[in-house]
Amino acid sequence: MTTTAHGMSRLDQFMAECLSKHALNDPRPLPQVFGYLLHENPLTGNLSIPHIVDAFDALVETMRTSKVEDGPADAGMTFFGQFVDHDVTLDTTSAIGTAIDPRSIRNVRTPNLDLDCVYGDGPEASNYLYSADHETEGFLLFGRKDNPYDLARNCQGRALIGDFRNDENIIISQVQGAFIALHNILMTNMAQDGDTAHDVANCAQMGVRHAVYDKHIVPKLRNFEEVRRFIRLHYQWIVLNEYLPSFVDQDDIDHVLKHDPFPDAPMMPAEFSVAAYRFGHATVQPQYVLRKDEAPLDLFALRGFGPRDPGATIDMDQFFGKHAQKALPVGTKMADTLFELPDNIVGSGLEWNGHQIPVAQAKKLGLRNILRDRSAIHIPSGQQMAAHLGLKALRAPKALRDHHITKTPLWFYCLQEAQESGKQRLSGVGGKIVASVIIRLLKEDAESVLNMADFQPWPGFGKTCTMGNLMAFVEKHRDHVKNRESLYCGPTPH
In angstroms, the Cα distances linking 176 to 87, 142, 363 are 11, 10, 28
CA distance 31 to 11: 15
In angstroms, the Cα distances linking 230 to 131, 198, 223, 264, 421 are 20, 11, 11, 31, 38
- Reference 10, options 2, 437, 28; nearest CA is 2
Contacts of 218 (CB under 8 A, 6+ apart): none
pLDDT, position 112: 84
**Reported confidence tier of residue 23, pLDDT bands at 50, 70, 90:** very low
264 vs 254, higher pLDDT? 254
In angstroms, the Cα distances linking 98 to 10, 95, 101, 107, 477 are 10, 6, 10, 17, 48
Q: Per-residue pLDDT averaged across 275-304, rounded?
A: 94
Judge whether residue 390 has pLDDT over 80.
yes
pTM of the complete model beyond 0.75? yes
Phi, psi of 147 (to 5 degrees): -160, 95
**Reported confidence tier of residue 268, pLDDT bands at 50, 70, 90:** confident
According to DSSP, the residues that pair with 35 across neighbouring strands are 269
Contacts of 182 (CB under 8 A, 6+ apart): 231, 470, 473, 474
pLDDT, position 2: 38
Percentage, residues of the chain above pLDDT 90: 74
- Alpha helices, DSSP H, located in 259-338: 270
- Alpha helices, DSSP H, located in 262-328: 270
pLDDT, position 213: 66
Share the mean pLDDT of the chain.
88
Residue 386, CA atoms < 13 Å, CB-side half-sphere: 19
Judge whether residue 37 has pLDDT over 50.
yes
- Reference 366, options 327, 390, 322, 334; nearest CA is 334
122 residue type, one letter? G
**Reported confidence tier of residue 322, pLDDT bands at 50, 70, 90:** very high
207 touches 452 (CB < 8 A): yes
pLDDT digits (tens, 9 = 90+) for 457-477: 999 999 999 999 999 999 999
Q: Per-residue pLDDT averaged across 34-57, rounded?
A: 92
pLDDT, position 210: 66
pLDDT digits (tens, 9 = 90+) for 164-180: 999 999 999 999 999 99
117 touches 446 (CB < 8 A): no
Judge whether residue 31 has pLDDT over 70.
no
